Amino acid sequence: MNSAITDEEAIGRVRSGDTSSYAVLATRYHGRLCRLAQKFLRSETDAEDAVQGAHLLALRHIDQYAGRSSYLTWMSSITVNEALTQMRRKKGVVELGEEQIDSVRSPTRNPEQQAIDRDFDGILTVALEGLPPAYREVFRLREMETLSTAETGERLGLTEGCVKTRLVRARGLLRRRLTRRLGSAEPSRSACHPELSNPGAQPAEYRVN
């Protein structure tokens, strides 16, 4: 029965007051979201908590979903934000490493996961535009066009050592920009819902086992 209900139908029911229909969405994507969160948190328990917090935020702010991307893409952004929040609580300052940035892209790339890739490509494009041109061009040629260090140097008139230095600096700047961008994922936490700051406080009926 639940498999016959589309995401749009379930969202419409939730918006109409039938909050129990959110279980359709939670069950459908819970496993994928947990795997995504675990790539950041390295712990099944922490990943589960992050996803439960993401479910609660999504339920409370379902009207903020504008449909510009798939529901899974939207939920993935919220889940990454929750994972980063947990990392901040434990470590204070968080900066994404290259492995964690790469992990946002799914290696299996089914249609829903390709949507996540496209969404992340948009975030990456915006982040790249903010880099100094010298660093941006090196990153684009080495990482996006997959040219070798020598080929990149020849294209830009740089030594191989200069290419390597600029690439390291470009990666560092890009990680910081992506951390800020992913860390501000929608929806915003609302002061009128203090329980949103505690992912473990969600009602039992929205917890997916």
Band (pLDDT 50/70/90 cuts) for residue 14 is very high
Q: Is 105 helix (H, G, I), strand (E, B) or coil?
A: coil
Average pLDDT over residues 181-186: 54
- For 121-144, letters b (16+ CB in 10 Å) and e give eebbeebbeebeeebbbbbebbbe
**CATH of the domain spanning 2-189, picked from 3.90.1300.10, 3.40.640.10, 1.10.1740.10, 2.60.120.590:** 1.10.1740.10
**In the chain, where are the structural domains located?**
2-189
Q: What is the pLDDT of residue 130?
A: 81
Give the whole-angstrom CA distance, residue 177 versus residue 198. Answer: 26
Q: What is the pLDDT of residue 37?
A: 84
Average pLDDT over residues 11-24: 93
Q: What is the pLDDT of residue 162?
A: 95
146 torsion bin: left (phi>0), alpha (psi -120 to 50), beta (else): left
Handedness of CA 129, 135, 140, 144 (dihedral sign): negative
Distance of CA 95 to the CA centre of its chain: 14
Q: What is the pLDDT of residue 209?
A: 42
pTM over the 0.75 mark: no
pLDDT tens figures, 129-163: 788 999 989 988 887 677 899 999 999 999 999 99
Band (pLDDT 50/70/90 cuts) for residue 194 is very low
Counting residues of the chain whose pLDDT is more than 70, the rounded percentage is 66
pLDDT tens figures, 58-100: 999 999 888 877 888 788 878 887 887 777 776 655 555 665 5
Handedness of CA 197, 202, 206, 209 (dihedral sign): positive
Q: What is the pLDDT of residue 182?
A: 58
Q: What is the pLDDT of residue 95?
A: 57
